[in-house]
Structure 1
Amino acid sequence: MRHYPGSSLDSDLLTAAFPPRLAEDVRSVLAVMPVTALPPADSFSVEVRGETVAIPTRIHHAEPDADAEGSLTGTQRLVLDCLYSRHGDGRVRQRRARTIVASDEPWVAPFVVQLAGEYVVEILEVIREGLSGLDIPESPERRTYGEFIARNSAFYARTERRAVSYWSCFHRRKYPVFGTYPGGVLAEAFRAAASEHAGVRWPRHTPSGLPHGPVAGPG
């Protein structure tokens, strides 16, 4: 069996990405993650149902083999998928995103929203397809993501600005209107969820129509 070889500090950093009640599950996941010489890269802090978690910007572990993953419980596999959604390889993030978007666990939401602000269009499409319930008023998905965004307004504003920046730099030729870009479609759906939860129109940090001239980068 492969054991997580990182320092106790690295282990603490990854455990901090989840609510404390999941600490034992996270440790079981870390025990099957292959060796890496690179520590997690930075982290961002958000609130999930009144608890603060600190999620790594990137991890660099190779993926566990199928037998190792098969030894985990359902909750532990979801923890594993969330962690690998922060992987440096976009193909790994895409595979793991396909799994985590199917969950309605509140602690999964920050991993999904972070991906929604990134630059890989295929991942954005996976999220949009997997979160079709965002379009349905009062759906479980709308409630989960609306509450998360309402609790983390500054984080979500940065996410929108980052999505606009990546669209402007890499995807504007294919999607001249931000609202037709997969990241723009997701931004509208997330804002609708937050508006429904908060009972007010949620602030917009993206272009509302056909943009003219340069678009500001993330703030």
Structure 2
Amino acid sequence: MFQDGFPIYLRDDVTTAVGMIPQKTYNNVTIDVSEDTIQYFQDNAVIRFPYRIYYIDSSDEVIDNLSPRQKMILHCIYSRSCDGFVRQMHIYSLLQMDYEDWAIPYIVKICDEYVVEILEMTYDILKEQDTVRIKRFCLENIVPFCKSYNRMISYWNEYYRYRYNNFHKYIGRKLFRDCFGYSKSMERRE
């Protein structure tokens, strides 16, 4: 289930990282991963990963025993957690690393969700970086990327419109435009 979210050459590292995930779920729910998946195209391959995972978070001691690449994989996986605080902590850790291109789909996907604090944190980190690799990924995945942009707008409209009444100044819009390369012309290329 997690192997499809990473390039084939990472198979052993993915297996090791996944082996560190506790097999216990939040509130003992009976599902461990959602049936819904996220799908992108990267490096001439389809990558697919669960929309949500329900496993409890791994301890810091477990993560410390992994290689940098395995840590990156685990951070990607936990960016899909059902717990917003866990998602934020792991995407923060991922963004602090010299992340590889295969981590980009996880970074982009988390930014179309409803936790504005994740958008603010991601923007604060990425605005200081060269995001040309992220922009290239978004351009290669124009249809799902534009859907993500529209989804981000719908969450702004539903939850944040009154706090951030000017959409042009909303952090989600700034993140998608400044760091991910969104432009209105992308919608016409779908």
2:16 aligned to 12, 21, 28, which one? 28
The alpha-carbon deviation at position 154 of structure 1 amounts to 0.5
Query: For structure 2, which runs of at least 5 residues remain unmatched after alignment?
Result: 25-29
Q: How many residue pairs align between the two structures?
A: 181
CA RMSD of aligned residues (A): 1.8
Where in structure 1 are there 5+ consecutive unaligned residues? Answer: 1-12, 196-200, 206-219
Residue 90 (structure 1) aligned to one of 84, 94, 100 = 84
Q: Which has the higher contact order (CA 8 A, sep 6+)?
A: 2
Q: What displacement does 1:51 show?
A: 2.1
Q: TM-score, normalised by structure 2?
A: 0.88
One-letter amino acid of the structure 2 residue matched with residue 73 of structure 1: S
Query: After TM superposition, where is structure 1 displaced by more than 6 Å over at least 4 residues in a row?
Result: none
Check conservation: 2:101, 2:133, Cα contact below 8 A: yes
2:175 is matched with 186
Structure 2 residue corresponding to 1:150, chosen from 135, 139, 159: 139
| Larger proportion of helix | 2
Q: 8 Å contact 1:19–1:52 — kept in the other structure?
A: no
Matches of 1:180 and 1:109, distance apart in 2: 24
Deviations 1:87-128 (A, max 9, x none): 000000110111222334111111111111111011001110
Q: Which residue in the other structure is 1:4 paired with? A: none
Contact 2:54 2:81 in 1 (8 A): yes
Letter matched to residue 38 of structure 1: I
Match of 1:40 among 25, 33, 40: 33
1:19 equivalent in alignment to 2:7: yes
Q: State the TM-score, normalized to the length of structure 1.
A: 0.77
Q: CA deviation at 1:55?
A: 1.6
Which amino acid in the other structure matches residue 26 of structure 1? V
Cα contact 2:127–2:179 (8 A) shared by 1: no
Secondary structure, aligned partner of 2:37: strand
The CA distance in 2 between the partners of 1:104 and 1:67, in whole Å, is 21
Aligned equivalent of 1:121, options 100, 116, 119: 116
- Cα distance between partner residues in 2 of 1:19 and 1:149: 18
- Higher-Rg structure is 1
The percentage of counterpart residues that share the same residue type is 27
